[in-house]
Structure 1
Amino acid sequence: MDDKPSLAPKPKTKAAVAAAAAPAPARTTAPLKKPPLAPPPQMIPLKPPPAHHYRQQRGSGAPRKRHRSGSGCSGRRVCCLATGFLLLALCLAVAAACLAYLCYHPRPPSFHLQPVSTTRFRVGNSSAVSAMDVTAAVKVVSWNPNDKIAFEYGDGEGRVSLADSDGDITLGWAPVGGFEHGARRVAVVGFVAAAKGVVVDEAVAARVRDGYRRRRLAFKVVVDTHMGVRVGAVRTGMVPVRLSCDDGVMAPRGVSAGSPMSRCQVYLLRMTWFGLN
């Protein structure tokens, strides 16, 4: 194959030739230069203000509340002293009680309930309900076995009830006078309780009438009073005492001196103190 003929260059125009021959115009403005980078700032450590300056700043603000440590110490001291005196008094009281027990050998008094006598006993007859009129005389015998200890009893109240299988029947109450029970003495406390118009049903009235004919009625006696102890010229405070006699029997006709007595239970400060036969 024959080679292709090369293309002839185009002829230049007069304007192009003149522009190429003319000298280049000189630059009148200087080239822009970038400013040099500033070095990074150095970290200067902060110094705390002086102590006196800090105190002046705190003092210029709101007034500061100061805690009084002296009052707290005095309060604790008073509490410690009071606790110490209380413990000392308790120890002295226990020591005195032990010495008194060793010196006097105290023993509790005994209480027995004599058979209850009825001066009036009437049960009405009715087809629906019946009414009872009862007057009961109660006597409690107490014996103080101590040689140098006396007991003092305040005014109290005595209640009498009739025991029944369907529930106790309250017959009445009466005041009980206070008295002093000397050493090696026998004391008798008595009161009379009267009930009028006590309503019971026919079944209970029938059982009560049958028990009265057979002299087999059962009574319950409760006496609430206060008791204290006296040793020579020393007296103790009065504490509440309850005397409970649950096995009271009816006195037979023509009460004799040898009638059996029932035991009583004594409750001191709502707790059982001693039981007696």
Structure 2
Amino acid sequence: MSEPPVKPVLQKPPGYKDPNSPAGQRRFRPPPRKPVLPPSFHSKKRKTSYGRACCCCFCIFFLIFLLLILICGAVFYLWFDPKLPGFHIQSFRISRFNVTKRPDGTYLDARTTTRLEVKNPNGKMTYYYGDTEVEVSFGEGGYETELGTTTVPAFTMPEKNTRSLRVETKASNKLVVDEVGNKLRARYRSKSLPVNVEARTKVGVGVAGLKIGMVGVTVKCDGMSKKQLDGGDMPKCVINMLKWLNIH
């Protein structure tokens, strides 16, 4: 006998679920995972808030520190009432002045004696001076001629004290330009010869037994004429501190 024909097996369509299969045997698909972001994409809220807190603390500390400095400065000023030292020419004398023309040039012989008065007007502060270099010159502008420099040893100025510094300078056979020599001689005879005195030193302050650092100071006494000096008119000098503060 012939075998019955075999029926072809029907294939299940995609996504077909057998209703007779138990629920436990169904496939379980896990939920999709979130993509992992690199560290550069993470939130920076914590770091930003921490930086702002540090910045605020620093600003507050700086303001408090500045306020304390201002208060201490005000108390210091009210208690000690600081005043700058005073400088002025006490006397100036030209003991020799001679301009000589020779075949090989024009020469200047001069000798001067200067008394520079220094005052400490403070009642609760002491001034300490380093070595002081005093320079004297004649003339102005293009014909200014230096006579020399003398160094005064370091000294101390107690409270409410005055000191006179005696400075001698001289120029022996100093060669000058002919035109300069003529101007110096003419101005000397007319008593209009400009005289300049410049002192360079360092000044420190003593308060309640404490010595505070040294500051460079330049004292200039310019524009004085021989006629003024002979008449006793001794103008005050200008104090240049730190090359930017000019004080009369």
Q: TM-score, normalised by structure 1?
A: 0.62
Offset from partner CA, 1:150-190 (integer Å, 9 cap, x none):
22222232222112464311222232332211111111223
Measured after TM superposition, the shift of residue 220 of structure 1 is 0.5
- Decide which of 223, 238, 241 is 1:265's aligned counterpart: 238
User: Greater share of strand residues, 1 or 2?
Assistant: 2
| Separation (CA, whole Å) in 2 of partners of 1:142 and 1:268 | 16
| Separation (CA, whole Å) in 2 of partners of 1:175 and 1:75 | 58
Pairing 1:143–2:143 present: no
| Separation (CA, whole Å) in 2 of partners of 1:222 and 1:113 | 11
- Decide which of 122, 137, 142 is 1:161's aligned counterpart: 137
Q: How does 1:196-275 map to 2 (within 5 A)?
A: 196-212=172-188, 217-250=193-226, 259-275=232-248
User: Does the aligned pair in 2 maintain the 1:118–1:136 contact within 8 Å?
Assistant: yes
SS in 2 for 1:236: strand
Name structure 1 gaps, 5 residues minimum. Answer: 1-48
SS in 1 for 2:101: coil
User: Does the aligned pair in 1 maintain the 2:118–2:163 contact within 8 Å?
Assistant: yes
Higher Rg: 1
| Separation (CA, whole Å) in 2 of partners of 1:94 and 1:132 | 55
When residues 80 and 267 of structure 1 are mapped into structure 2, their CA distance, relative to the original with a 3 A threshold, is: farther
Q: How does 1:115-130 map to 2 (within 5 A)?
A: 115-126=91-102, 129-130=105-106
| Separation (CA, whole Å) in 2 of partners of 1:79 and 1:156 | 48
Q: TM-score, normalised by structure 2?
A: 0.68
When residues 115 and 215 of structure 1 are mapped into structure 2, their CA distance, relative to the original with a 3 A threshold, is: farther
- Decide which of 95, 110, 113 is 2:86's aligned counterpart: 110
When residues 166 and 273 of structure 1 are mapped into structure 2, their CA distance, relative to the original with a 3 A threshold, is: closer
| Separation (CA, whole Å) in 2 of partners of 1:112 and 1:95 | 34
User: Does the aligned pair in 1 maintain the 2:133–2:200 contact within 8 Å?
Assistant: yes
Measured after TM superposition, the shift of residue 120 of structure 1 is 4.7
When residues 213 and 146 of structure 1 are mapped into structure 2, their CA distance, relative to the original with a 3 A threshold, is: same
| Separation (CA, whole Å) in 2 of partners of 1:194 and 1:83 | 60
The CA RMSD measured in Å over matched residues stands at 3.6
| Separation (CA, whole Å) in 2 of partners of 1:264 and 1:123 | 29
Please tell me the residue identity of whatever aligns with 1:175: T
Count of equivalent residues: 216
- Decide which of 24, 35, 51 is 2:33's aligned counterpart: 51
Offset from partner CA, 1:104-126 (integer Å, 9 cap, x none):
32223321113333455442223
User: Does the aligned pair in 2 maintain the 1:127–1:202 contact within 8 Å?
Assistant: no
Pairing 1:185–2:169 present: no
User: Does the aligned pair in 1 maintain the 2:138–2:184 contact within 8 Å?
Assistant: no
Q: How does 1:14-93 map to 2 (within 5 A)?
A: 50-51=32-33, 54-55=35-36, 84-93=60-69
Offset from partner CA, 1:218-248 (integer Å, 9 cap, x none):
3111112222222222332222211110144
